[in-house]
Amino acid sequence: MMEKTWRWFGKKDKITLPMLRQIGVEGIVTALHDVPNGEIWTTEAISDLKSYIESYGLRWSVVESLPVCEAIKYGGTEREQLIENYKVSLANLGKCGVKTVCYNFMPVIDWIRTDLQHPWADGTSSLYYDRIRFAYFDIRILGREGAEKDYTEEELHKVNELDKVITETEKEALIDTIIVKTQGFVNGNIKEGDKNPVAIFKRLLALYKDIDRETLRENMHYFLTAIMPVCEEYDINMCVHPDDPPFQVLGLPRIVTNEKDIEWFLNAVDNPHNGLTFCAGSLSAGEHNDTRELAKKFAKRTHFVHLRSTASIAGGNFIESSHLAGRGHIIDLIRIFEKENPGLPMRVDHGRMMLGDEDKGYNPGYSFHGRMLALAQVEGMMAVVDDEMQRQMEL
């Protein structure tokens, strides 16, 4: 059966390891969050955290993440040194027995939402993406040159209408949600307390002024080619996280958005250690993706699974749904992965904020009770799938 893991943000996380052990978690997904991006992870620091996790009867299953610095993505002058540092960190992880590394290759901005606590009728809340509010941030707050070209006439009209009623408090909330809270809680480019985050963000965007999809692909190929010998030596599986959401934003190239993109990077560096983090939530946020078909095609090159789901809403919006609903098709995914690549580490993610979760999460949008419920649901699904497979083998 899939290994039940949980993303844990270190010793400062309000959700403690004893709590996780009690609810049936087997493996921990974490990182050395105190180490600045680009610096080497030492064997001493890795061993210390690994021993701490193991002292609670758990294991460090997946690194999420060993960050890929912006200069590696856009090909800056410091790229070579940063890649060398990355290789040393990978080797040190391998020496310590931590063998799976989830990372992303998204320029500047990681996951994007416009509301971290969108209310549901039952009193729970979840993450939400409102395309018009995001367009407002892009055009009116960020003032990105040429932004209007990325939106339809109808969308531009709605942005203008929103401008008549939006408050300064709502504008500040958009800035805080899009480029501070979702990016800065761990290893982000912008942190809580930074003065004028919009100016910082615009400087980061400027680094990619001349970087298109093909250039970003070339830089990803360069990075993967450089690190694969270390991955082979220490049997480390790299697994890239899909872009979230899986479409172009803010004039930035996004290169892990669909079947063709995944096919490209797997073939570009055709090594079993070069693989995918199958995030059902990120992929399902794009209506062009069918998570079931993608899982069938790429299960063998998947090293880590995020079981979460989103639901599409008219107008290009989407919401984090319950784990048994939405376009993630999690029950079907469990069947596919248990058949094609059994034993993968998986973690339930996000879901609904409920029962006072807002006081327990280290990061906005990461529930405790909501994920605990989902873990129980997924565990039940895995047991059913395991029984189905046993019966089929006996026939």
Active site residues: 241, 279, 306, 349-350, 366
CA–CA separation, 187 vs 291, rounded Å? 29
* DSSP assigned state of 141: I
**DSSP states of 329-366:** -HHHHHHHHHHHSTT-EEEE----B-TTGGGT-SSTT-
CA–CA separation, 326 vs 364, rounded Å? 21
CA–CA separation, 288 vs 350, rounded Å? 22
Count of helix runs (H) and strand runs (E) in the chain: 15, 12
CA–CA separation, 265 vs 239, rounded Å? 11
Q: Which residue has the tokens 């590394």?
A: 101
CA–CA separation, 219 vs 394, rounded Å? 49
Q: Give the DSSP H or E segment for 384.
A: helix 369-394
User: Which residue type does 108 have?
Assistant: V
CB 244 within 8 A of CB 270: no
CB 320 within 8 A of CB 127: yes
Q: Indicate left, alpha or beta for 5 from its phi (over 0: left) and psi (-120 to 50: alpha).
A: beta
- In this structure, the number of other CB atoms found within 10 A of the CB of residue 83 comes to 18
* DSSP assigned state of 149: G
Nearest Cα residue to 243 out of 262, 219, 269:
262
- In this structure, the number of other CB atoms found within 10 A of the CB of residue 138 comes to 20
220: burial class by Cβ within 10 Å (0-12, 13-18, 19+)?
buried
Angle at 374 between CA 372 and CA 379, to 5 degrees: 95
